[in-house]
Amino acid sequence: MTTADDPMHALDLKAEVRRAMASLETPAPYGGSTTSDLSIDEELNLHSIGWEPVELVSGLSVVSVPWGAWNWGQGEISAASEAHEQAFRYAIARLHNDAAAAGGHGVVGVHIARSVHPRHIELALLGTAVRPIGASVVTEHDVFVSDLSARDFTLLMVSGWQPLGLAYGASFVYAPRRSVGAVLQQRSQNVELTNFTEAMYSAREGAMERMQAMALALKGTGVVDVTVIEGPMPFAPHAVEFASWGTVVRRATDVHRRLHPRMVVSLDDPVVLFDARTLS
Amino acid sequence: MSDATNDLPEATGHRLEELEHGLFTSDLSVNEFLLIKEVGFHPVGFVMGSSIYHTGFQTRKWGQSQELTKLTEAMYNARELAMTRMEEEAAELGADGVVGVRLDVNYYEWGKDAAEFIAVGTAVKAEDGVSRLNKLGRPFTSDLSGQDFWTLLQTGYLPQGLVMGTCVYHIAHRGLGQTLSTTGQNVELPNFTQALYEARELAMTRMQDEATRLEASGIVGVRLEEKSHQWGSHTIEFLSLGTAVRQTSSEVTLAKPTTIISLDN
Amino acid sequence: MGNPSGDLPEAVERRFAAGAFSSGLSVPDFAACLDMGFEPIGLVQGFCAMQWGWYTMGGAFRRGFSPYGGAPGDYLENYQCPHGMRSAEHRAWGQNYEQSWIEGAWREGFTSAYSRMLEEAIALGAHGVVGVLDTVGEISDLGVIEFHIRGTAIRVTGAPPSPVTPWTTYLAGQRLTKIFEAGYVPVSIIASVASVRVWASCITEYLLEGLGMSMWAANSGPAEVEQMVSARTAAREIVRAHARQQLDGDALHGVDVLVSEREFERGDMEIQCLLRGNRLRRFKDFDPLPVPQPTVRLS
């Protein structure tokens, strides 16, 4: 807000800049070599609720899918589902480890790079470990991991909610076969292919149930910002994938605090954004 | 090029007359339109200029990096012609300047080695009737959007013209001996570094010379573009473009931005 | 080329002598610059073109006979074949190793271009360079890689020339304003690269692609591919360690990590990590800000 009582804007910017530059002539007076992939907006958001970035952290995993897993069959391809679950579990565990070692209480803005190949599933997580300013180290068990941006994290905290961790679930299934008779019979009709519908339904349900079970295990009351991926595998069109993940949240205060947003009309066109990278 | 004030095709005459009687056309968005009105300008019409140019050919030496001056001249003149014609349309409308200028090059099936250079933009006129023509007595041109135009005027600067410089450069092929002797090493090739340096600097210097002619205090939003057009991969056009600006008042009226956190996706 | 200010091309000096400044800043960034009390003085840039090859140490075929020994201090891991057999199809060993010569060549190219840009900035009497943009790209089909770094040199209006090297940052505009308001001052841009070569062992090949001797594979369920996890983790750790070495007690902000992998032939690949960010120094104590006003756009 542009008000006189706002300490940020009470500053004389030009004087502040000169003071800042003068400090370059002497060695760093304040220690603390932090690294982060947050933007300045995200860092200021974190600061406004008393949190700070600590360290850039990563966790990854590559899990093999056993030979023959995608061959024609029926029901769930449990080897693939299991490999997917393992890849997430190992990668998150390593991220936890990395964050706890750096002194973080949680990891925000986790970027999830995932790819499913015929013989292996790859997962790479990258995010910034954060903590309440100056807070001491917590045990690895208490570190939360979230794919919410620092901005979303701030808004959640301001409203009285806290992230608890990532929940995920995946289910790979074979598309059911139709008998030759059925194919011939259905060729000229507009009918629902009920066995297909059912198979898709149960696969979707399977993935969501796994995610929900994990959320409950984390003692969460909700999952926000859920990403859903579904469709046939490019390398095995008769196999279908359903995968979902999101951040588990729980209310941290007695009541939900309303934000009361202000309405604004923006005169920016979508392409007009502040960005230094204009020189291209 | 600039002394020919009335060589516009006849067909445009009628449209311009209509515009002077109050109707304007523009490719500005509503946001841009309102912001331009906010700083006391009125759009008077959509203007364009075009030039179809035969870019010709110039022999290059296989092993030597050099500027291809004939091609450089052709690329420069063609753009300059298109721009000048657009300025003429704007002057005809009594405009003070043109905003949102886009420069494009089109190649057509029917004309080998010929290219059409087009400049389009929206002509604007100051509502207070005080002339904002540039030092050369011509409407200013700029590639600024309506938002940028508004912001720039808040800082006490006024656009003077879209300035550009170009340099068509041939980068030497490397002799077989040279290639073999450095195989297996990642090493600097000083000749290449020097050639690329030179080509881009030439383009930028030419752009800067244009700004100096306009007695501008500076150029904002400089872009460096590299294109091979239809000459093959060793011949590259380095084009630098920007809007020359002049400080007209030392008063900065830009308000302190409010820090907000948007709940929109 | 190491001799400062002496090797600027003639054209640069002519450009700098001209009266008007040039800047790569957009109008909003330009406005923010004036707000901070900076005046843009010129677009500055530096280049370095390098011959580039993705060769392996000692040539690829040599590795069929004995593992690479590794350079001192570099990451290196060997994976022995547990089956005790050797043939053209079955690899007796696998290896992960850091290609420090590639990292070194990359650093040399980047640093040369960077210091040439700084020379230009110093020649202009700049205090800092804002809105830095770097590109590393191949020049057509020449087997040449060009490092090109550019930015807008600025001077604090009315201040004497600085005794220290100009600071540099990828940021400009309001983002930079907020850096100062948050109590930071930019020091320099930071870029580092890590390159890890993976020569897959028989087990890794089997787990990744199902190739080789399946009857020796002990497990039939999903299993983690240790060699790949190790190589990828190492690449990310090396790149972070390189960056941290350049910090000297300062903070690294707004990091961007790009990971690329290329496979040269079956079972032979390179993992490359590129990290870029802004080195910032805290010049005053942290001063908490109010939570920004939440807004909803009416549209």
ipTM of the prediction: 0.84
Q: Across the interface, do C288 and A261 touch by the CB < 8 Å criterion?
A: no
Q: Across the interface, do B34 and A267 touch by the CB < 8 Å criterion?
A: yes
B31 near A CB under 8 A: yes
Nearest to C117 by CA among C138, C131, C101: C131
Instruction: Express each pLDDT in A13-64 by its tens digit.
Output: 888 888 888 888 877 666 668 899 998 888 888 988 999 999 999 999 999 9
**pLDDT computed for residue C277 by the predictor:** 94
Instruction: Express each pLDDT in A217-269 by its tens digit.
Output: 999 999 999 999 988 888 887 888 999 999 999 999 888 888 888 877 777 66
For the segment C251-268, the average pLDDT, to the nearest whole number, is 89
Q: CA of B136: how far to CAs of B132, B256, C20, C248, in Å?
A: 11, 35, 17, 53
Q: Which domains does chain C have, with CATH numbers?
A: 21-51+102-189 (3.30.110.70), 79-97+192-282 (no CATH)
Instruction: Express each pLDDT in C224-250 by its tens digit.
Output: 999 999 999 999 999 999 999 999 889
B32, B224, B261 ranked by CB distance to A45: nearest? B261
Least confident piece of the model among A46-55, B49-58, B240-249, C262-271: B49-58
CATH of the domain at B61: 3.30.110.70
Buried b (16+ CB within 10 A) or exposed e, C169-181: bbbbbbbbbbbbb
Interface test with chain A among B38, B220, B258, by most A beta carbons within 10 Å = B258
**pLDDT computed for residue B182 by the predictor:** 54
C128 CA: distance to closest CA in chain A (Å) = 10
For the segment B70-74, the average pLDDT, to the nearest whole number, is 86
Contact between residue A86 and residue A62 where contact means Cβ atoms under 8 Å apart: no
For the segment C115-125, the average pLDDT, to the nearest whole number, is 93
Interface test with chain C among A2, A8, A17, by most C beta carbons within 10 Å = A17
If one counts the domains in chain B, the total is: 1
Q: Does residue B258 form part of some domain?
A: no
**Which three-class secondary structure state does DSSP give residue B88?**
helix
Query: Does the pLDDT of residue C154 top 90, yes or no?
Result: yes
**pLDDT computed for residue B172 by the predictor:** 77
Q: Across the interface, do A1 and B263 touch by the CB < 8 Å criterion?
A: no
Contacts of B248 by beta carbon, 8 Å cutoff, 6+ apart: B156, B157, B158
**pLDDT computed for residue A242 by the predictor:** 92
Contact between residue A131 and residue A26 where contact means Cβ atoms under 8 Å apart: no
Contacts of A60 by beta carbon, 8 Å cutoff, 6+ apart: A91, A94, A122, A123, A124, A125, C229, C232, C233, C236
Nearest residue of chain B to residue A42 (CA atoms): B261
Parallel/antiparallel/unpaired status of strands B114-126 and A262-264: unpaired
Buried b (16+ CB within 10 A) or exposed e, C79-103: bebeeeeeeeeebbbbbbbbbbbbb
**pLDDT computed for residue A59 by the predictor:** 96
**pLDDT computed for residue C274 by the predictor:** 95
Average pLDDT, chain B: 81
Query: Does the pLDDT of residue A149 top 60, yes or no?
Result: yes
Sequence ranges of the domains in chain A: 33-251
Q: Which of A51-55, B65-69, C57-61 ranks highest by mean pLDDT?
A: A51-55
Interface test with chain A among C130, C180, C206, by most A beta carbons within 10 Å = C180
B174 near C CB under 8 A: yes
Query: Does the pLDDT of residue B131 top 80, yes or no?
Result: yes
Instruction: Express each pLDDT in A82-133 by its tens digit.
Output: 999 999 999 999 999 999 999 999 999 999 999 999 889 999 999 999 999 8
A235 CA: distance to closest CA in chain C (Å) = 13
C-alpha span between A41 and B241 (Å, rounded): 31
Interface test with chain A among B30, B31, B143, by most A beta carbons within 10 Å = B31
Residues of C in contact with B241 (CB under 8 A): none
C-alpha span between A232 and A225 (Å, rounded): 23
Nearest to A96 by CA among A44, A61, A135: A61
For the segment C123-139, the average pLDDT, to the nearest whole number, is 90
C-alpha span between A183 and B81 (Å, rounded): 67
C-alpha span between C238 and C233 (Å, rounded): 9
Is C106 or B66 the better-scoring residue by pLDDT? C106
Instruction: Express each pLDDT in C133-142 by its tens digit.
Output: 999 887 766 6
Tokens of B89: 């349309």
Q: End-to-end distance of chain A based on CA atoms, in angstroms?
A: 34
Instruction: Express each pLDDT in A113-125 by its tens digit.
Output: 999 998 899 999 9
**pLDDT computed for residue C38 by the predictor:** 93
A168 CA: distance to closest CA in chain C (Å) = 18
Fold (CATH) for A33-251: Translation Initiation Factor IF3 (3.30.110)
Which DSSP helix (H) or strand (E) runs through B205? helix B190-213
B220 near C CB under 8 A: yes
Residues of A in contact with C288 (CB under 8 A): 47-48, 50
| Domain span at B147 | 11-247
Q: Across the interface, do C150 and A29 touch by the CB < 8 Å criterion?
A: no
C-alpha span between A101 and B172 (Å, rounded): 53
The Cα angle at residue A168 between residues A166 and A174, in degrees rounded to 5: 170
Contact between residue B237 and residue B227 where contact means Cβ atoms under 8 Å apart: yes
Q: Across the interface, do C40 and B196 touch by the CB < 8 Å criterion?
A: no
Q: Give the model's confidence band at B183: pLDDT under 50 very low, under 70 low, under 90 confident, else very high.
A: low
Least confident piece of the model among A149-153, C113-117, C158-162: C158-162
B202, B221, B258 ranked by CB distance to C293: nearest? B258
Query: Does the pLDDT of residue B259 top 80, yes or no?
Result: no
Residues of C in contact with B188 (CB under 8 A): 1, 48-51, 108-109, 112
Residues of C in contact with B198 (CB under 8 A): 9, 11
**pLDDT computed for residue B139 by the predictor:** 95
In which residue are the tokens 């194919």 written? A183
Nearest residue of chain A to residue B36 (CA atoms): A267
The DSSP result for B124-151, as a single string, is EEETT------TTSS-EE----HHHHHH
Q: Across the interface, do A269 and B147 touch by the CB < 8 Å criterion?
A: yes
DSSP-derived letter for residue C166 is: P
Q: Which of A159-163, B4-8, B41-45 ranks highest by mean pLDDT?
A: A159-163
Prediction pTM value: 0.84
Residue B219's CB is within 10 A of a number of other CB atoms, namely 31
Query: Does the pLDDT of residue A203 top 60, yes or no?
Result: yes
A8, A259, A268 ranked by CB distance to B31: nearest? A268
Nearest residue of chain C to residue B173 (CA atoms): C142
Ramachandran assignment for A260, one of left (phi > 0), alpha (psi -120 to 50 degrees), beta (any other): left
Q: Which of B44-58, B111-125, C161-175 ranks highest by mean pLDDT?
A: C161-175
Q: C295: which strand partners?
A: A262, B262
Contact between residue B209 and residue B165 where contact means Cβ atoms under 8 Å apart: yes
A151, A259, A280 ranked by CB distance to B223: nearest? A280
The identity of residue A84, as a single letter, is H
C17 CA: distance to closest CA in chain A (Å) = 22
C131, C252, C292 ranked by CB distance to A35: nearest? C252
DSSP-derived letter for residue C269 is: E
Tokens of B139: 């409407």
Is C145 or A176 the better-scoring residue by pLDDT? C145
B151, B179, B211 ranked by CB distance to C27: nearest? B151
B10 CA: distance to closest CA in chain C (Å) = 37
Is C293 or B238 the better-scoring residue by pLDDT? B238
Sign of CA dihedral A144, A147, A153, A157: negative
Q: Which of A208-222, B106-120, C170-184 ranks highest by mean pLDDT?
A: A208-222
Nearest residue of chain C to residue A30 (CA atoms): C282
Which C residues 12-71 touch B at CB under 8 Å?
Answer: 12, 14-15, 18-28, 30-31, 34-35, 40, 43, 45, 47-53, 55
Residues of B in contact with C18 (CB under 8 A): 205, 208-209, 211-212
The DSSP result for A87-98, as a single string, is HHHHHHHHHHHH
Q: Is B7 exposed, middle or buried (0-12, 13-18, 19+ CB in 10 A)?
A: exposed
Is B26 or B160 the better-scoring residue by pLDDT? B160
Buried b (16+ CB within 10 A) or exposed e, A96-116: bebbbebebbbbbbbebebeb
**pLDDT computed for residue A277 by the predictor:** 33
**pLDDT computed for residue B226 by the predictor:** 84
Residues of C in contact with B221 (CB under 8 A): 23-27, 30
Is B37 or B161 the better-scoring residue by pLDDT? B161
Q: A277: which strand partners?
A: none
B15 CA: distance to closest CA in chain C (Å) = 33
A78 CA: distance to closest CA in chain C (Å) = 10
Q: Across the interface, do B201 and C15 touch by the CB < 8 Å criterion?
A: yes
Nearest to B158 by CA among B180, B179, B135: B135
For the segment C143-149, the average pLDDT, to the nearest whole number, is 87
C-alpha span between C116 and C262 (Å, rounded): 31
Residues of A in contact with C152 (CB under 8 A): 279
Q: Is B17 exposed, middle or buried (0-12, 13-18, 19+ CB in 10 A)?
A: exposed
Contact between residue B159 and residue B244 where contact means Cβ atoms under 8 Å apart: yes
Residues of C in contact with B187 (CB under 8 A): 50-51, 105
Average pLDDT, chain C: 83
Ranges assigned E (strand) in chain B = 41-54, 66-67, 97-107, 114-126, 140-141, 157-170, 218-227, 235-247, 260-262
Instruction: Express each pLDDT in C171-218 by its tens digit.
Output: 998 889 988 988 899 999 999 999 999 988 888 888 888 765 555 555
The identity of residue A95, as a single letter, is L
The Cα angle at residue B82 between residues B78 and B88, in degrees rounded to 5: 140
B195 CA: distance to closest CA in chain C (Å) = 10
Sign of CA dihedral C137, C143, C144, C145: positive
Residues of B in contact with C102 (CB under 8 A): 186
